[in-house]
Structure 1
Amino acid sequence: MTYIVTENCIKCKYTDCVSVCPVDCFNEGDKFLVINENLCIDCAICVPECPVGAIYSDLDLKENQKIFLKINSELSKVWPNIKKIKINKNIKKWINIKNKLHLLKL
């Protein structure tokens, strides 16, 4: 089991989750965060820290979010690790927007 960052994170990219991760398993892209499944220890500490509800156990993913298993796995191999909170000034604009997958350049 591992935890996965899903679509709600796209363009919001709150980083509160990063500050509580005991193993620094988050990686950062321009518009999105991902979790490195090889580093994640399944502690779930990050889940309640995400104000947009973007982090799920891989066992709890809805069918339309399962694509994020592959996205997290692939992008965590190429994106840099993030260990500190960063401020995103455009968060409120993107919080309630649905169907944002097309905004990721994969």
Structure 2
Amino acid sequence: MPHIVCEPCNNCKYTDCVVVCPVECFYEGETMVYIHPDECIDCEACVPECPVEAIFHEDNVPDEWNSFIELNADKSKELPVITEKKEPLAEG
């Protein structure tokens, strides 16, 4: 089961998480990053790196953010991979 980036990342887009990902499964959108569900190996390395606590195991996504499961799956297939830390929107 993959991890999912949820609402707290939207308009923050910290990228601390992408640097620690051993399989490069993060994809960059305009306002947040997404995890490709077929590439995530469930290592949890990204979870403690997220300063806004936006990353959840798919089984633990809060009900109000369930739509982010499908959003991550869809967006990660159409966006470019991100592997380097960038300035977050929250501080930009």
- Rounded to whole Å, the distance in 2 between the matches of 1:68 and 1:45 is 20
Question: Structure 1 regions of 5+ residues with no counterpart?
Answer: 94-106
CA deviation vs aligned residue, 1:44-63 (integer Å, no higher than 9, x gap) = 00000000000000000111
| Alpha-carbon shift at residue 92 of structure 1 (Å) | 4.8
| Alpha-carbon shift at residue 77 of structure 1 (Å) | 0.6
Counterpart residue number, 1:57 = 57
| Alpha-carbon shift at residue 74 of structure 1 (Å) | 0.3
Question: Is the partner of 1:27 in helix, strand or coil?
Answer: strand
The structure 1 segments of at least 4 consecutive aligned residues displaced by more than 2 Å after TM superposition are none
- Rounded to whole Å, the distance in 2 between the matches of 1:43 and 1:51 is 18
- Rounded to whole Å, the distance in 1 between the matches of 2:72 and 2:35 is 6
- Rounded to whole Å, the distance in 1 between the matches of 2:91 and 2:29 is 19
Counterpart residue number, 2:13 = 13
- The answer to whether structure 1 residue 91 and structure 2 residue 90 are counterparts is yes
Rg larger in structure = 1
The letter of the residue matching 1:81 is V
- Using the size of structure 1 for normalisation, the TM-score is 0.84
- Using the size of structure 2 for normalisation, the TM-score is 0.96
The letter of the residue matching 2:37 is E
- Rounded to whole Å, the distance in 2 between the matches of 1:33 and 1:18 is 9
- The answer to whether structure 1 residue 77 and structure 2 residue 87 are counterparts is no
Task: State the aligned residue count.
Answer: 92
- Rounded to whole Å, the distance in 2 between the matches of 1:86 and 1:16 is 8
Identity %: 45
The letter of the residue matching 1:85 is K
Question: Structure 2 regions of 5+ residues with no counterpart?
Answer: none
